[in-house]
Amino acid sequence: MKLGIVGMLSEDFRTFRSDHMHPIRALGFTGFGFHLNGNDIFEITDEDCVKFRKFLAPEELDLAQFAIQYNECLFHPDQAVRDAVTAKINRGTEISAELEAQVFLLRPGSLNPDGPWTPHRDNHLPEQTGRLVETLKPIARKAEQEGVILALETHAVSIMDPPGKCREIVELVGSKHLRLILDAVNHFQSLQQVYQSSDWVNCIFDETGSISPIAHIKDLKISNGLVLQIDQEIPGEGELDLALVLKRFHAFHPDGYGLIEHLGPDKIPQAATNVRRIAKENGVSIY
């Protein structure tokens, strides 16, 4: 497998310079991802994309993941909301193709107006699945036309959970250009799942491993509090059976990218060191 990073670059690829790429290579990463502001999506020109490809060609780094930020919900009851976000995503798909990104990340959104990764009880109603699939089908057709692989994020607070439901949604859309992000940490919901993480990791991979060509590498811990609080941790420093995550992802996608994310610059070097050590100890080749 390959190792990359999200979070070491700004959101606007038009501002990238060679000195931004050197720290990425210096940490041994061979690829990266970034998130473009979705409100800027229609300002991006074909010329901008051509310049980016020319810029990246000598940098010896892959654009492993391209994403756009948006707050709209893909299964919102208002068709106008879904049409607006579909237009953003379709333009993002075109840009992803022009940038030659390996995957284009999508987020399903939430009915909670506070943001796409916030909980709402109606996110999990059965009828929302049909509305999400209805939105995703034409988006997937656009991806097929552009030769882009869409990678849909999953999360316990979102409609994209549990893992079996995630697989079902991909199957209902019925396009090989719609896949998933393998983000094991996002699916943990209980104390016992955390403390017996190997069992839950296997369940996640059994359901979604084959249709998740890119992984997000994180870790998790139980924090002190009067209610259950599951927080992220530096990879290799928490409760997750990261060795199992790496082994199972590598078995499915030996050329796929695992991307470290959600860390400040002071923690990224340790995360990269930990992941490489755990991979080596468990026979997983990172190249």
The domains of the chain, with CATH numbers, are 2-187+196-217+240-281 (3.20.20.150)
Coil, strand or helix at 228: coil
User: pLDDT value at position 140?
Assistant: 99
Which residues, other chains included, contact 243 with Cβ-Cβ below 8 Å and sequence gap of 6+? 278, 281, 282
Question: Residue holding tokens 């606007």?
Answer: 12
Helix (H) or strand (E) holding 281: helix 268-281
Going 88 to 93 to 94 to 98, the CA torsion angle's sign is positive
Phi, psi of 97 (to 5 degrees): -65, -45
Q: Report how far Cα 23 is from the mean position of its chain's Cα atoms.
A: 22
pLDDT by 10s per residue, the chain, length 287? 999 999 999 999 999 999 999 999 999 999 999 999 999 999 999 999 999 999 999 999 999 999 999 999 999 999 999 999 999 999 999 999 999 999 999 999 999 999 999 999 999 999 999 999 999 999 999 999 999 999 999 999 999 999 999 999 999 999 999 999 999 999 999 999 999 999 999 999 999 999 999 999 999 999 999 999 999 999 999 999 999 999 999 999 999 999 999 999 999 999 999 999 999 999 999 99
User: pLDDT value at position 282?
Assistant: 98
Phi, psi of 220 (to 5 degrees): -145, 160
Residue 101: name the closest of 146, 139, 142, 141 by CA.
146
pTM, full prediction: 0.96
Q: Which two tokens stand for residue 35?
A: 């998130």
Residue 94: name the closest of 152, 55, 36, 135 by CA.
36
Phi, psi of 242 (to 5 degrees): -65, -30
Within 116-173, residue ranges assigned H as helices are 126-146, 163-173
Burial of 126 (0-12, 13-18, 19+ CB in 10 A): exposed
Partnered with residue 21 across adjacent β-strands are: none
Q: Which amino acid, residue 20?
A: H
